[in-house]
Amino acid sequence: MSYDFIDLFAGIGGMRLAFEPYGRCVFSCEWDTKAQETYEKNFGDKPVGDIKKIDEKAVPGHDILLAGFPCQPFSLAGVSKKKSLGKEHGFLDETQGTLFFDIARILKEKQPQAFLLENVKNLRTHDKGKTFNKIMKVLEEELGYTVYAKVLNAKGLVPQRRERIYIVGFKKPIKFNFPDIPENGPAIISILQKNVDPKYTLSDKLWEYLKSYKEKHSKKGNGFGYGLADLDSFSRTLSARYHKDGSEILIPQKGRNPRKLTPRECARLQGFPDSFEIPVSNTAAYKQFGNSVPVPVVKKVAEQIIHALERNETIQTDIDIKKNAVVD
């Protein structure tokens, strides 16, 4: 069976890569123009822009909604006013003004069979857990989905410690199991290029600065500072700020200062195939891969979502449904 899906907060299409074996993307949305450029180069269609300007009724019908949405503080503006007027307010009202609300209104209008949301691990604890609880209540109580959530670490599939929360929902109360991610995976040396341009090697000035910065914070008992990668292990998490100095993942070099990863190595670190084209500047590419999803992890989750839809094995009791807790 083939499934139509939409790709919200699409970035450069990491989620789309994972789901394309199971169907076709019928709509994509991404506001960043440089990310749109990379997306169009690789998939042949340009995502529409600001999701807040999109009429949910105009979104094509689809079976699965995908969204790696940014986590913003939830705005409670207007709730106090409604209470003072004695009006009831739903959780959807509480999330207006946040980007999650845009996902919720599309889910409400289109009622897809399933969805996959991805976010930073700290979404669980943001605002003492209130943000995550509101999201779950919107998805379960307001929209009627059976929801599963789990933090998965990508380091068993790519050579990078990258913990992210994955939230999976189904319109029907069907059983779902997250994939088992191996504890140990490939080493960072496996993604390195040979004969790297010297421009990626840190200047003496920058290297001395990073060393003194780390030493200063070490004396204060802080762990801030650069990270020199163990080539036989995994790296720290690649972030969107990597373009600034590359300090979180530096590659040691014999007889020379360490170097930054190249954009292609960052693509590999996130599990993108070498056939994935990088048409933008290095600065833009570093931001894009730092903001992206680890593709092999999403592929594993996608496979489980499709299996669950096709098995269509329903949960029998409310007690079973409530067991869908976040698991570390």
Determine the distance from the C-alpha atom of residue 207 to the mean position of all C-alpha atoms in its chain, rounded to a whole number: 31
How far is the C-alpha of 58 from the C-alpha of 50, rounded, in Å?
A: 14
Q: Record the tokens describing residue 325, joined without a space.
A: 């807790």
Q: Record the tokens describing residue 146, joined without a space.
A: 């059976």
Q: Are 151 and 164 in contact (CB under 8 A)?
A: yes
Alpha helices, H only, the chain: 14-19, 33-43, 79-84, 91-94, 99-110, 130-137, 204-219, 242-245, 263-269, 282-291, 295-311, 318-321
The DSSP code for 82 is: H
Which residues are 235's β-sheet partners? 160
How far is the C-alpha of 166 from the C-alpha of 148, rounded, in Å?
A: 8
In degrees, to the nearest 5, what angle opens at C-alpha 182 toward C-alphas 179 and 184?
A: 160
From the number of C-beta atoms within 10 Å of its C-beta (0-12, 13-18, 19+), residue 204 rates as: exposed
Q: Of residues 25, 29, 71, 266, which has the active-site annotation?
A: 71
Q: Answer yes or no: 29 catalytic.
A: no
At 73, the amino acid letter reads P
Residue tagged 């009202």 (tokens) = 93
- Active-site residue numbers? 71
